[in-house]
């Protein structure tokens, strides 16, 4: 009985410690595990793990697109501010 408690405590500690380091992987595994139980096929589980992984990661293309969008927004705001200043208004 005591050995079981020690084993459970050790496993729980390991899972909690690993979850801090592998947050994205853990989310994908939980989502994938749930889908595998519900769907019952390894293929569906793999697809859900991939979707879960995609949901918690950002590709280089997505990062570049976000930065370009933010740059355009900033430039647009700068033009509006300059226009307001020419009209004697504050930004």
SS3 81: helix
- Rounded mean pLDDT, 60-82: 97
Q: How far is 25 from 38, CA to CA, in rounded Å? A: 20
Q: Are 35 and 48 in contact (CB under 8 A)?
A: yes
Contacts of 49 (CB under 8 A, 6+ apart): 28, 29, 31, 32, 35
pLDDT tens digits for range 6-48: 877 877 776 767 766 666 654 566 656 666 655 555 454 555 5
The residue to which tokens 């995609």 are assigned: 54
Alpha-carbon distance values, 72 to 66, 68, 75, 78 (Å): 10, 6, 5, 10
Q: Average per-residue pLDDT in the chain?
A: 76
- pTM (two decimals): 0.37
């Amino acid at each position: 009985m005591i050995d079981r408690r020690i084993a459970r405590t050790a496993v729980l500690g390991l899972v909690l410690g690993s979850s801090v380091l592998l947050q994205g992987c853990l989310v994908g595994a939980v989502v994938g595990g749930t889908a595998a139980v519900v769907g019952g096929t390894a293929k569906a589980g793999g697809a859900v793990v991939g979707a879960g992984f995609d949901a918690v990661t950002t590709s280089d293309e997505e990062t570049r697109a976000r930065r370009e969008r933010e740059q355009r927004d900033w430039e647009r705001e700068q033009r509006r501010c300059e226009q307001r200043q020419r009209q004697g208004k504050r930004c």
